[in-house]
């Protein structure tokens, strides 16, 4: 098939051609970026936290009129309240293990600092920023963390301290990511590091494979997998308990926990948000990401639908306009398939041109988003896939009017409309 007559014909309705090409270009630009956003969000939501998330729950509660922690003996009073709660929770029939903990991944309540190889390093200039988790010897088991080197805490390692007091632990567990950052040769185990610019060393006694930071905000991106676990029960006027239940008993335990804790002491606050399964925590943390992905998905669907409909509409018009010419071609010996191919080829030309412009627009839009909205660079693969999709869409949309065109009988040529 020769392209020359086709291009000559296209010249006769420039405006329509330009509008379709422009529409395809804009569609391509937006769909590429929207799909890229969707891909990123899905990747974000699917990254594992490092926990075994099934049968895991969290209780957050506070004591009414608890000591402030500023008077002598306050911390010990708070610790006895904590110990009483722990004993009651651990005695529950369906509970496998319980750990008092300051936060969990995805909980959006972070404790951060920095760790360094040398004492007295400035806090912000430390070797590596890290999030801190505080818990007792039940932490690894309760959260389901995988130990890849060394050992977990024993009861002898664990101390308690006031929430607002400073104190350096003798031993710590770090994530593999943090260990590898500090000791790239992989020999972190047994080494001493310094927390928050302090002067007393903490020895790394274990490494866990993976443990995500509590926050899902972008400020934590640089150290998302750097976590340090300290063997402390933190004593404050509130407490958090992570609980691992027996398989399938999560709901039962969640239901029973408030009464058990009120049984220990009634002077405490437990409200609707106090008892949460980890699945709920995950859902809340990623709600806006899932929402953004859905929104972008809806926009893509509308865009592709509108563009396809536009192509159908305009091509139908052209088919109507060229009714007679088609009849002439058929009378001169063109087969049905030739007419079909003509319109398909024509669409391929237009959408090809549109896709080329769209390629530039897609990259431009991505650069705009990168500049203003912390977006990553759009991989070329997305654009190429996008081009294939819009070309296929064009072919699909043009098929119906093109088939109608191919059904124009040759006899039309003899009629004067």
Partner 1 sequence: MFAYYFELALRSLKRSRGLTLLMVLAIGFGVAASMTTYSVFRAVSGDPIPWKSSKLFVPQIDMWGPKARDPNGEPPDAMDYTDAMALMRAHRARYQSAMYQISPSVVPADASKHPINVSGHAVFSEFFPMVDVPFKYGAGWTADDDTQRSAVVVISSKLNDKLFGGENSVGRTLDIEGKDYRVVGVTDHWNPQPRFFDVVNTGGFTDGAEDVFLPFNRAIDVGMPNNGNTNCNEVPKESGFVGLQHSSCVWMAYMVQLDDAAAVQAYREYLDGYARDQQKAGRFGWAPNNRLRDVPAWLDAEHVVPSDTKVSLLVALGLLVVCLVNTAGLLLAKFLRRSSEIGVRRALGAQRSAIYAQFLTEAAIVGLAGGVLGLLLTGVGVASVGWVMPKDIASLARLDVSLLAITLLVAVVATMLAGLYPTFRASRVQPAWQLKSN
Our CB check for partner 1 shows the closer of 26 and 178 to be 26
Among 190, 247, 320, 364, binds partner 1 (CB under 8 A): 320
User: Which residues inside 65-124 make contact with partner 1, applying CB under 8 A?
Assistant: 65, 68-70, 74, 122-124
Report the residue number, 208 or 359, with the smaller CB distance to partner 1: 359
Q: Site residues for partner 1, window 174-203 (CB under 8 A)?
A: 196-198
Q: Which two tokens stand for residue 322?
A: 């060229």
Rounded CA-CA distance 11/13 in Å is: 5
Check if the beta carbon of residue 296 is closer than 8 Å to that of residue 37. Answer: yes
Count how many residues are written for the chain: 417
Return the SS3 of 234: strand
Q: Do the beta carbons of residue 162 and residue 75 sit within 8 Å? A: yes
Nearer CB in complex with partner 1: 147/294: 294
Whole-number Å distance between alpha carbons of 406 and 326: 8
Identified binder of partner 1 from the candidate list 33, 130, 228, 347, rule CB under 8 A: 33
Q: What is the CA radius of gyration of the chain?
A: 32
Of 313, 364, 379, 409, the one binding partner 1 by CB under 8 A: 313
Q: Does 358 bind partner 1 (CB under 8 A)?
A: no
If the CB atoms of residues 251 and 321 are measured against partner 1, the closer one turns out to be: 321
Q: Which of residues 149-168 bind partner 1 (CB under 8 A)?
A: 162, 164-166
Q: Report in angstroms how near the CB of residue 164 gets to partner 1 at its nearest.
A: 5
Query: What stretches of 174-221 show up as alpha helix (H) in DSSP?
Result: 176-182
CB distance 231 to 174 below 8 Å:
no
Residues 35-74 binding partner 1 (CB under 8 A) are: 37, 62, 64-65, 68-70, 74
Is the separation of the CB atoms in 181 and 127 below 8 Å? yes
Q: Are 229 and 51 in contact (CB under 8 A)?
A: no
> Is 122 exposed, middle or buried, given 0-12, 13-18 or 19+ CB atoms closer than 10 A?
exposed
Residue 84 or 269 with smaller CB distance to partner 1: 269
Scan residues 7-26 and list those touching partner 1 (CB under 8 A): 15-16, 19-20, 22-23, 26
Residue 49 Cβ vs partner 1, minimum distance, rounded to whole Å: 20
Nearest to 180 by CA among 151, 210, 201: 210
Of these, 73, 263, 374, 415, which contacts partner 1 (CB under 8 A)? Answer: 374
Q: Is 237 in the site for partner 1 (CB under 8 A)?
A: yes
314 binds partner 1 (CB under 8 A): yes
Q: Write out the binding residues for partner 1, residues 331-350 only, by CB under 8 A.
A: none
Q: Is 294 in the site for partner 1 (CB under 8 A)?
A: yes
């Amino acid at each position: 098939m020769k392209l020359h007559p086709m291009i000559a014909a296209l010249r006769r309705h420039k405006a329509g051609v330009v509008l379709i090409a422009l529409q395809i270009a804009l569609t391509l630009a937006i769909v590429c970026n929207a799909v890229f956003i969707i891909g990123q969000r899905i990747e974000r939501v699917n990254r594992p936290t490092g926990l075994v998330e099934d049968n895991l729950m969290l209780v957050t509660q506070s004591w009414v009129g608890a000591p402030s922690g500023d008077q002598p003996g306050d911390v010990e009073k708070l610790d006895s309240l904590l110990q009483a709660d722990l004993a009651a929770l651990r005695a529950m029939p369906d509970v496998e293990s319980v750990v008092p903990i300051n936060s969990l991944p995805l909980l959006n309540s972070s404790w951060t600092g920095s760790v360094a190889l040398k004492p007295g390093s400035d806090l912000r200039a430390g070797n590596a920023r890290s999030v801190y988790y505080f818990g007792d010897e039940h932490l690894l088991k309760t959260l389901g963390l995988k130990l890849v080197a060394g050992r977990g805490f024993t009861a002898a390692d664990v101390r308690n301290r006031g929430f607002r007091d400073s104190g350096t632990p003798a031993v710590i567990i770090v994530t593999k990511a943090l260990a590898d950052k500090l000791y790239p040769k992989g020999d972190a185990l047994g080494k001493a590091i310094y927390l928050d610019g302090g002067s007393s060393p903490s020895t790394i006694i274990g490494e866990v494979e993976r443990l995500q930071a509590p926050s899902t905000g972008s400020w934590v991106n640089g150290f998302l997998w750097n976590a340090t676990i300290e063997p402390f029960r933190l004593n404050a006027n509130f407490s958090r308990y992570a609980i691992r239940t027996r398989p399938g008993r999560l709901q039962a335990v969640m239901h029973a926990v408030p009464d058990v804790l009120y049984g220990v002491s009634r002077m405490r606050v437990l409200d609707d948000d106090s008892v949460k399964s980890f699945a709920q925590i995950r859902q809340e943390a990623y709600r806006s990401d899932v929402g953004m992905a859905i929104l972008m998905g809806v926009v893509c669907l509308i865009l592709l639908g509108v563009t396809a409909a536009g192509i159908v509409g305009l091509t139908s018009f052209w088919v109507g306009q060229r009714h007679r010419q088609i009849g002439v071609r058929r009378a001169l010996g063109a087969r049905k398939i030739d007419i079909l191919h003509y319109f398909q080829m024509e669409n391929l030309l237009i959408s090809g041109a549109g896709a080329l412009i769209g390629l530039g627009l897609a990259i431009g839009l991505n650069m705009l988003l990168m500049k203003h909205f912390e977006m990553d660079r759009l991989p070329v693969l997305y654009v190429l896939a996008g081009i294939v999709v819009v070309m296929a869409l064009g072919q699909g949309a043009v098929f119906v009017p093109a088939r109608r065109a191919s059904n124009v009988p040759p006899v039309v040529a003899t009629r004067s409309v």
